[in-house]
Structure 1
Amino acid sequence: MKRRQFLASSGLAVAGGAALAAPAIAQSAPEIKWRLASSFPKSLDTIYAGAEVLAKQVAELTDNKFQIQVFAAGEIVPGLQALDATQNGTVEMCHTCSYYYVGKDPTFAIGTAVPFGLNARMQNSWLFEGGGNELLNEFYKKYNVFGMPAGNTGTQMGGWFRKEVKTVADLSGLKMRIAGLAGQVLQKLGVVPQQIAGGDIYPALEKGTIDAAEWVGPYDDEKLGFNKVAPYYYYPGWWEGGPTIHAMVNLDKWNELPKPYQAALINAAAYANTIMLARYDKLNPPAIKRLVGAGTQLKPYPQDVMEAALKATNELYAEISAKNPDFKKVIDAMIAYRNEEYLWWQVAEYTYDNFMIRARARG
């Protein structure tokens, strides 16, 4: 074959004697349009925006050939049904918290966060470098979805309470909006857990239908107005040290995607994961100052509550692991990773942060 014929048949252009390759995506990429169901309302602009960041990146990485339209909670399905809609093909993908679906299997909780689990950096380390993604997707496959980390809020707050919590006894009979396994832990301490979508929390607190609620942290909680109906704001959210928000894709649709589009989606999700945490780290400090300035009473959980919660957590993990091999496999891996990480953190990370916090307090 002559050189000029070879270049023409290979799709290469000759200009001034040099062969230039046209981008593969521009040559052969199909035009694909997907719908994404978010579990979050547009008013929660930081957590909802994770899906928009993802969609924008995918479009840019594929020269607008692969477009994802984002729908807020309730526009196609209610927020807590986003995974179901993805499983059954109503939408191609969703942006949600895995732990919303513990009713299907408690293993779902580990994908987002579990009581006394990992902080945000440890979570990312475990998912991206410690085998966490692979373990979770082995599990998610049973529910016809493929998952990717696509957001993280950082350590969350411990919730808003209408009455002060001084001891474990004060939790008895308290009705609290809380998701995931944390509700089962608190149930062991006398709490009556309630699972309520974000947009419905305020009226429930206002009417006294619930006595307490947790959501995310200062920025989002201020937007939802919780400080107007519950004066006590507790920390830390020991059940969400570094919760991941996932992009879940219908497994059949994922397998149909061209490899370059799969790569674009994975990289866009990772970018969204980074941006969400950066935004929360920017927005939470001024928000907590505004809340305290408006009269919010900031309170640490009493030590006896923390200790009782840790004990109840370990009991719960043992109970679930005894009858659920999927849960045991993933939780054991996560706990082993957590223990190794904290061995390192106590040497440098915690020591540095503790010094700087004390230095700031001294002015």
Structure 2
Amino acid sequence: MGRRKVTDTPTDRRRLLAGGGLAAAGLFSAPAIVRAQTGLHWRMATSWPRNLPGPGVSAQRLADRIGAASGGRLVIDVFAAGEIVPAFEVFDAVAGGVVEMAHTAAFYWQGKMPAAVFFTSVPFGLGPIEHLAWIEIGGGQALWDELYAPSGVRAFLAGNTGPSMGGWFRRPIETPDDLHGLRIRVQGLGGEVFRRLGATPVTLPPGEIATSLSTGAIDAVEFLAPSSDLALGLHRATQLYYAPGFNKPNGAGECLISLKAWNDLPDDLKAVVRDACRAEHAEALADAARLNGEALKVLIERHGVRTPLFPRPVLDAARAAAEEILASIAATSPLAERIARSYREAQEGGRAWAGLAAGMAAALATH
């Protein structure tokens, strides 16, 4: 296209002045637009397929919350697992300044800092509400900050998929011996629990587990809960969906933030990010309760999925293994010991009420 000729007639001058007046009016009447153009842009790497029900949705919703609440002063671009870094490398990406933020789960880092698992879930541990109470008012957040600070990272709770199921198994589990030689995709401390019971834990990112189960490359999968598991199509490989999820009684997700990027934020934007994480944690739990109930009904009624309970001998063996593992984690460092002790105190302090509340809920559900 050729350049439009500019003339200097009275009419043209009036048009130019009118246009300038409109631009000036827009500048002062739409500050949100100006802030969006001149604000900060962060990149969020995630450990999830894009918009995976549960954690993938939380990641995008968190980014949207921050952008809206900040009036466009802080805009978050979300990237699925593998788009910038693989699913299990997002912590290093934040620590190394490749991205400013990530959405993931703390138990992925147990190899580099064993006590990280307490900030997602441990076998036979705190449920979602009890875990939230420990983080927010029981001293958990300060311990979390202390654990991640040497890596230049801080974290907030930012989503929760609720308690997990026990997993999908291609063959029945009737005794602990049935776990011997079984190849199971499992994350967190559950992997070591299954190893001690004779199984072979396998690490796979979420995007690969359905194919691996369908082809027989693995014999079982423990991922999350009905909503996420239905979305991945795990029911196509087997109809045996065991409960309870002793490995992950809690499904806390974490928002990781580069400490440098965090410290560069003004106080009001820090409050926006912190409050957005809290809001997402609450909404995700509400979503989990609704969506998991709907998904479980679909799995059972439409796809013929069965939900047997792990036999008591299997649970007893798993609990004994879990107690040994947690004791070994506590012994890895003085900080790990303080984290484990604080977690145990929260669990013991809330055990009576948590058990009674669960019993009341079960009783009400059957009447």
- Report the TM-score when normalising by structure 1: 0.88
Of the three residues 38, 51, 55, the one matched with 1:47 is: 55
Which residue of structure 1 aligns with residue 296 of structure 2? Answer: 288
Which residue of structure 1 aligns with residue 174 of structure 2? Answer: 166
Change in Cα spacing, 1:46 to 1:243, as seen in structure 2 (3 Å) is closer
Task: Kindly indicate whether the alpha-carbon contact (under 8 Å) linking 2:40 and 2:74 is maintained by their aligned counterparts in 1.
Answer: yes
Written as runs of structure 1 = structure 2, the 5 A alignment for 1:253-292 is 253-292=261-300
1:31 CA drift (Å): 1.7
Which residue of structure 1 aligns with residue 206 of structure 2? Answer: 198
Written as runs of structure 1 = structure 2, the 5 A alignment for 1:64-83 is 64-83=72-91
Distance in 2 (alpha carbons) for counterparts of 1:91 and 1:158: 34
Distance in 1 (alpha carbons) for counterparts of 2:142 and 2:120: 14
Which residue of structure 1 aligns with residue 20 of structure 2? Answer: none
Of the three residues 139, 157, 160, the one matched with 1:152 is: 160
Higher Cα Rg, which structure: 2
Distance in 2 (alpha carbons) for counterparts of 1:351 and 1:48: 32
SS in 2 for 1:146: strand
Q: Which amino acid aligns with 2:332?
A: K
Q: Which stretch of structure 1 is more off in the superposition, 310-319 or 169-178?
A: 310-319
Written as runs of structure 1 = structure 2, the 5 A alignment for 1:11-26 is none
C-alpha RMSD over aligned residues: 1.9
SS in 2 for 1:284: helix
Distance in 1 (alpha carbons) for counterparts of 2:53 and 2:314: 33
Q: Which stretch of structure 1 is more off in the superposition, 147-156 or 54-63?
A: 54-63
Change in Cα spacing, 1:54 to 1:169, as seen in structure 2 (3 Å) is same
1:52 CA drift (Å): 1.7
Distance in 1 (alpha carbons) for counterparts of 2:78 and 2:298: 31
Which residue of structure 1 aligns with residue 259 of structure 2? Answer: 251
Written as runs of structure 1 = structure 2, the 5 A alignment for 1:210-249 is 210-249=218-257
Cα deviation, 1:185-219, whole Å, max 9, x if unaligned, reads 11111111111000100111112111100111111
Q: Does 1:343 align with 2:356?
A: no
Q: Which amino acid aligns with 1:330?
A: I
Of the three residues 56, 74, 88, the one matched with 2:96 is: 88
Of the three residues 159, 171, 187, the one matched with 2:195 is: 187
Which residue of structure 2 aligns with residue 32 of structure 1? Answer: 40
Q: Does 1:132 align with 2:140?
A: yes
Task: Kindly indicate whether the alpha-carbon contact (under 8 Å) linking 2:33 and 2:72 is maintained by their aligned counterparts in 1.
Answer: no
1:27 CA drift (Å): 12
Cα deviation, 1:83-138, whole Å, max 9, x if unaligned, reads 11111000001000011111112111111111111101111111111111111111
Which residue of structure 2 aligns with residue 315 of structure 1? Answer: 324
Task: Kindly indicate whether the alpha-carbon contact (under 8 Å) linking 1:151 and 1:246 is maintained by their aligned counterparts in 2.
Answer: yes
Task: Kindly indicate whether the alpha-carbon contact (under 8 Å) linking 2:183 and 2:200 is maintained by their aligned counterparts in 1.
Answer: yes
1:239 CA drift (Å): 1.7
Which residue of structure 1 aligns with residue 24 of structure 2? Answer: none
Distance in 1 (alpha carbons) for counterparts of 2:291 and 2:226: 8
1:43 CA drift (Å): 4.7
Task: Kindly indicate whether the alpha-carbon contact (under 8 Å) linking 1:154 and 1:280 is maintained by their aligned counterparts in 2.
Answer: yes
1:351 CA drift (Å): 3.5
Q: Which amino acid aligns with 2:120?
A: T
Which residue of structure 2 aligns with residue 304 of structure 1? Answer: 313
SS in 2 for 1:45: coil
Q: Which stretch of structure 1 is more off in the superposition, 312-321 or 169-178?
A: 312-321
Gaps of 5+ in 1: 1-24
Q: Which stretch of structure 1 is more off in the superposition, 46-55 or 248-257?
A: 46-55
What is the percentage of aligned positions where both structures have the same residue? 34
Q: Which stretch of structure 1 is more off in the superposition, 57-66 or 192-201?
A: 57-66
SS in 2 for 1:156: coil
Of the three residues 67, 70, 78, the one matched with 1:62 is: 70
Distance in 1 (alpha carbons) for counterparts of 2:257 and 2:111: 20
SS in 2 for 1:196: coil
Which residue of structure 2 aligns with residue 11 of structure 1? Answer: none
1:326 CA drift (Å): 2.5
1:42 CA drift (Å): 1.5
Q: Which amino acid aligns with 1:31?
A: G
Q: Does 1:107 align with 2:115?
A: yes
Q: Which amino acid aligns with 2:314?
A: V
Change in Cα spacing, 1:346 to 1:180, as seen in structure 2 (3 Å) is closer
Task: Kindly indicate whether the alpha-carbon contact (under 8 Å) linking 1:212 and 1:230 is maintained by their aligned counterparts in 2.
Answer: no
Count of aligned pairs between the two proteins: 335
Q: Which amino acid aligns with 1:320?
A: I
SS in 1 for 2:320: helix
Q: Which stretch of structure 1 is more off in the superposition, 262-271 or 319-328?
A: 319-328
Q: Which stretch of structure 1 is more off in the superposition, 218-227 or 315-324?
A: 315-324
